[in-house]
Amino acid sequence: MLLVCDEDFKVYGCFAGSKVEIPDIDRTKIINSTGHDVHVLNENRECVRTFFASKDHTIQMSEKVFKCPSLEGIPVCKREYEREGKLPQKSDNVFYIVSWIVKSNYPDRTDFICVDGVVYGNKPGEVLGCTGFRR
């Protein structure tokens, strides 16, 4: 099977033998599970799409911090993360926007995506949005 993609890796064709299949890309669903709205920006920093936070599908991790012996007088700690609540079941063509902490704790969940290319504003800590997603 050969997938045909555009420069943004969006699949627009699939060749299986001599048959050409065009996937129904409108069936793809992206659910924002971060707890806050996610804005996707273009190269001009203009918002091209907003994924509103889902109240029904928020996935969060609680953090435990453990102090470790310092190294050359510099404090060292260990952090562990634990899921709060249930994870959604995998479903065809459904992706969940999650934090990088959730994504890194569930590497086999290929339906979990996180923001990539964070765009910051002029104020310290001000996040305007992102330029895409990371799988």
Residue 1 binned pLDDT confidence (cut-offs 50, 70, 90): very low
- Report whether 97 contacts 32 (CB < 8 A): yes
- The 3-state DSSP class for residue 43 equals coil
Question: Rounded to 5 degrees, what are φ and ψ at 26?
Answer: -70, -15
Domain positions in the chain: 26-134
pLDDT of res. 85: 83
User: pLDDT digit string (tens) for 77-106?
Assistant: 999 999 888 899 999 999 999 999 999 999
Q: Cα(116)–Cα(99) distance, rounded to whole angstroms?
A: 11
Work out whether strand 112-120 and strand 94-97 pair parallel, antiparallel, or are unpaired: parallel
* Lowest mean per-residue pLDDT among 4-18, 25-39, 47-61, 74-88: 4-18
- Mean pLDDT across 24-50: 89
- Mean pLDDT across 107-114: 95
pTM score: 0.72
Helices (H), 1-130: 100-105
Helix (H) or strand (E) holding 79: strand 74-84
Whether pLDDT at 26 is above 80: no
Q: Cα(117)–Cα(66) distance, rounded to whole angstroms?
A: 31
Residue 99 makes CB contacts below 8 A (sequence gap 6+) with: 34, 59, 60, 61, 114
Q: Cα(57)–Cα(29) distance, rounded to whole angstroms?
A: 13
